[in-house]
Structure 1
Amino acid sequence: MDIRTYALPSQQSPPPQRPVEPLVQLECRYSHGVEGGGMSVGSGLLLDQRLVVTAAHLVAIERHRSTKSIAVRAHSSDGPVTLWVTGVSYPADWNRHDLAILRLNRRLPEPSDAVHLARVHEGDEFDATLWGYPTRADWRAHRPETRSIRARVQRGWLHYLSGRGVPGLSGGPLFYAGYAVGVHSGQRYVDRWVRSRQVAMPIVTDDLRVYMEKAHDVRHPRPAPRQG
């Protein structure tokens, strides 16, 4: 699979002293030229002490033209701490495989709760819980929301048979029986004309390990030496 990567400059942030919770908030700032720009807000899940999984449509460079920064807000018993993304990895066909891995500028303490992943299979149907931070929530507050979802695996997506996410929950994890099985994507076309209610992208894919390795390896290019 063709995998896209890009790097962002590291920014200063205080090292967190205490373990953080695995559910995080994302704020991606981007520009559309000299003056235009915007921001996409979503959620994500810590896979280890330095990698976050989220929805690719939040961070895909093709969508935003020029990404300036991606902030990640994690929460611990000491309160929220902001970290910065320095490496991004996602599939080139992210419209069909809406999954991205982000590398943080700092290594975190061990998460307060261990996250276990599980693979789902075509035809599986189950009750799940979607976690995330809605956009109406205070960016500085520790107020995640949960949504009850009935999902079925079909054509490589987790289709929601009942329940739905809200803005800000994109990239948030979908849990089934204590395992993270998907990343919330939102409204999707199941073919050219028919829209599903909402969908999630399975987390465990054949290429997940490659995305993680690529995110670890991407480096910010050094400036060219001055001539003369």
Structure 2
Amino acid sequence: MPDTVPPSGSYPVSERNKVRRLHERGRYDRESVHAILDAAMLCHIAYVIDGQPYCTPTAFWREDDHLYWHGSSASRMLRSQKGGVAVCLTVTHLDSLVLARCGFNHSVDYRSAMCFGTARIVEDAAEKARALDVMINRFYPDRAATLRQSTTQELKATTVIGMRIEEASGKIRSKGVADEEEDYALPIYAARFPVRQVIGAAEPCPRMPAGVPYPEGLAGFTDGRRLDEIMLEAQHRLYGED
């Protein structure tokens, strides 16, 4: 049971998702958690099978309070989830490296989210096909309708997993250098180094027929743009703002 009754628009707080260390960095409101999730393309999913812990990296996307990801139908983790498996899905953005005046205060600025729920396989064929189209459009706006349709065998070889977010928390550090007051006068170099994941210039397939135009939906994918900004833009284009 939750430890506290959450305010409207927030996830419940319990022993499972409570931020314990540096709790002032914790975020439980849906707006903050969703912003961290929606700025990402990759997540890590932790689960336990027969007492053995695993952690799987994969692409994912969010629809309201549900998260989805996909993988090979031969995956042991996916096969084990037919009856539902408790998972923890995490996302992290590394925003800067922070060099302080002592080793203890060296840090990083970051945005992270942890989501808890029970993962289940999407069994309905129509819902599965819809989800796979949504995945394409989530990352590459309006692209699914322009592609060759997946074959029955291709769809059979892919499993879609869904999970309702039961509890979640975000954690954010964004303050840069934070030294002890008496250390600021020391003649030691201190700085923040911003870290960004950016898109490079497109490298068209050399076997693409001549005259194929650049898709309008990829207009946001320009050389030098931040990937987290592109992902947020694509999410809002598909689902609107929360």
Regarding TM over 0.5, the answer is no
Give the number of the structure whose residues are more often helix, by fraction: 2
- Pick the structure with greater CA Rg: 2
Q: TM-score, normalised by structure 1?
A: 0.34
Give the number of the structure whose residues are more often strand, by fraction: 1
